[in-house]
Structure 1
Amino acid sequence: MSTTNIGVTTSPRTTAARGVAAAVVAVLGAAVTAIYGSYGGPSPSPSQEQAVPYVVGADIVVALLVFGLLLPWARRSDNRASGWGLGLSVLGLVAIPIAFWSGVVIVIAVAAILLGVHARRAAAQAARPAKLATTAVAVGAAALVLSTALLILGNTVLV
């Protein structure tokens, strides 16, 4: 039995469009997280409510830096994309206890997943293993799920 690898090439324009779409989704998710983190509990404090615009602004700044500067640079090399994807996913996982309520974990995790998927596609085209990239996607997804779960639990069960 023989296998045939059909390479799927993506243009820089397609890659940039995916990056912009992922950044928009990440910022929207971060904003919803910040709003729910402040208003979702049974007794939101006024200081939390007043901080929401600043937290969302910080999420936007982090997203601009990560998606505007880091991702285009990291995508230039497949190994760099795998390494930075794994690094970002671990950072997102470590940041959960500190910043799960702010939405910044969502921005970091989405960027990690995007880099991991990019590196996996490149590895598949070159018929190379993509263990590091797969780990980046898995850990990034875990950070995304755990951060959201802790936010919901923190506003409902752990109050």
Structure 2
Amino acid sequence: MSNQYELIVIGLGPAGASLLYNAAKKGVKVLGIDKRREIGIPIQCGEFIPAYSELETLLPETPSEYLSIFKRVPRNIVLNKTRVVRLYTPYNSIYEVEFKGLVINRASFDKWLVSKAIEYGAEVYINSSVYKLDSDGGVYVKGFLNGVYKGDVVAIAAG
């Protein structure tokens, strides 16, 4: 394994895993690092994501190829589908907005995203912590993966 990468992604929740997937799909030599022993565990936040149609509306400048992974979320990960979002204020007002979304099993979703990136050639290491970054792209890692790795671009998606 070479220690030089075009992209190093630190943190493999939905944002980091999506970046990892899209880069690997384009043939970028990419390394993903996560400090957790198991992707998706513990769950870090909610289990709701916008439906693909909503993502297209929310992110109109984003090429559809970057959002396409969200069209293919496996059914076994989707727990429920939503049509509206209700917002309850501290003053007992309720606002209801039409907004399609998916309630997902977050741990399974994170694992699925990372597995898709691996299918396209991403290297992924868990149980590995970054303890230092250099201004020249050096990423110092300890844990299952040890050593210094160089990235042309380093993305921190650690929440």
The normalised TM-score by structure 2 is: 0.28
The normalised TM-score by structure 1 is: 0.28
Q: Which has the higher contact order (CA 8 A, sep 6+)?
A: 2
Larger helix share, 1 or 2: 1
